[in-house]
Amino acid sequence: MRVVTAERAVTEFSPRFEAVAAVGLGESFAVHTADCYDGQLSDERAVRPDVDMARFNRASGPVAVTGTRPGEWVRVVIERIEVAGRGVLALTPGLGVLGDTVEHPSTRVLRVSDGRAWLTPEVGIPLRPMVGILGVATARETVPSSTPGEHGGNLDTRVLTAGTALAVRVNQPGLGLCVGDLHAAMGDGELGGTGVEIAGEVRVRVERLGDHTGNRPLVLAPEGVHVLASRTTLDDAVRDGFREAVALMARWHDLEWPDAYRLTSVVSDLRVSQVVNPRTTARIAIPAQWCPDSLLATCGRSSHSCLG
């Protein structure tokens, strides 16, 4: 299996990329990732203000996927996530929605074992590994790796885990896929400005999605489809996500817009992926019974573990 190391990584997504490796459609490959701090918080004496932010949120890649063409849609299937044996939770003034109440920077290094990340010897957080950054080359703009958008990027959505896939539009020949910012666990909203930041390895494959058309990235999961929208304000993100969900439901069920609007309001749920990045990310969750089987066919065959 082809392996992409964390030695080559980017801190921005742009229309141009220099591939570090090339794979074919349907080919499984592994990507090693550093944590979002690039290993700089190695012990609890180091704090977030010490971090060289030029190395923050590096995403491993880009990987070229041969045969992908601009304008078509692909799904990036996450087959497996393996996390390292230690994670980091850092606080600093201004970080998260209560950052104005954080007086001093501090760091917790968490041991990962027995299916948990240990905050204290008695308090273990159940592992739910997820990918924070999963993105492709952009159509026109250059976007920092810390910022989400229609290209994917720093989506920080907790449902982007093993057994799911990210549906995204191809903007450039060869796709230019990058992966990074793993979390051993993270809550919806990422309210404190952090998940359990961790290094690891992600095994993925890229498949052509077929006749799907849309405007926003989707997470395809066994339980349904999550429409993702990232905007400067949460209100705008919710509006964009719901607008996309209504359009999809109209297409999937051959409905006029007013009835699609009614149906989507009744059966879907609003959730908030994160509110701490330069653009906030909302997601509209549509249950599987209302989604085409073709979107969900490859989801659910996956696993996660600890690298130790």
What domains can be seen in the chain, in order of their start residue? 2-215+300-306 (2.60.120.580), 218-295 (3.10.28.20)
| Predicted confidence (pLDDT) at residue 297 exceeds the cutoff of 90 | no
Mean pLDDT of 8-33: 96
pLDDT band at 168 (very low <50, low <70, confident <90, very high): very high
Query: pTM score, two decimals?
Result: 0.94
| Predicted confidence (pLDDT) at residue 167 exceeds the cutoff of 60 | yes
CA-CA-CA-CA torsion sign (171, 135, 46, 8): negative
**pLDDT, averaged across the chain:** 95
| Predicted confidence (pLDDT) at residue 301 exceeds the cutoff of 60 | no
CA-CA-CA-CA torsion sign (191, 158, 1, 115): positive
Give the lowest-confidence range in 11-20, 105-114, 293-302. Answer: 293-302
CB-CB contact of 76 with 165 (8 Å) = yes
What integer pLDDT is reported at residue 210 of this predicted model? 82
For the stretch 220-258, pLDDT in tens is: 999 999 999 999 999 999 999 999 999 999 999 999 999
What integer pLDDT is reported at residue 255 of this predicted model? 98
User: How many Å from the N-terminal Cα to the C-terminal Cα in the chain?
Assistant: 21
Mean pLDDT of 56-78: 96
What integer pLDDT is reported at residue 213 of this predicted model? 79
Residue 258 parent element (H or E): helix 257-267
Please give the structure tokens belonging to residue 128. Answer: 């739910």
What integer pLDDT is reported at residue 144 of this predicted model? 97
Minimal CA–CA distance to 267: which of 280, 254, 253, 277?
253
What integer pLDDT is reported at residue 296 of this predicted model? 81
| Predicted confidence (pLDDT) at residue 273 exceeds the cutoff of 90 | yes
For the stretch 124-161, pLDDT in tens is: 999 999 999 999 999 999 999 999 999 999 999 999 99
What integer pLDDT is reported at residue 98 of this predicted model? 97
**Residues in Cβ contact with 211 at an 8 Å cutoff, skipping those fewer than 6 apart:** none
| Predicted confidence (pLDDT) at residue 308 exceeds the cutoff of 60 | no
